[in-house]
Amino acid sequence: MVKWKEIAKFVSGLSVWEAVVHGSLWLSKTTPTIFGITLTETLNIIQTIIPAIISVMLVYYAWFKK
């Protein structure tokens, strides 16, 4: 039996990590190029906000929803 709340806990940690990494790149004004894609400031902002929202929703589902 799949325990969806346990999977949500794990994925919420992954999405928090992504938000932290892109947030630090955004705040340091760093624009690295990865696999030919330059991470601009706008892209870092988007990749900070969306995973943060997703992780909040997953934390609510995994720990607080009955």
- The two tokens of residue 43 are 């892209």
Indicate the Cα dihedral angle 12, 13, 19, 21, nearest 10°. Answer: -160
pLDDT at 25: 92
Digit-coded pLDDT (tens) for 22-61 = 999 999 998 899 899 898 999 999 999 999 999 999 999 9
Question: What SS3 class is residue 32?
Answer: coil
Residue-number span of the structural domain to which 43 is assigned: 4-64
Please check the confidence at residue 3 and state whether its pLDDT lies above 90.
yes
pLDDT tens-digit series, residues 11-25: 999 999 999 999 999
Q: How far is CA 45 from the centre of its chain?
A: 11
Number of domains in the chain: 1
pLDDT at 63 over 90: yes
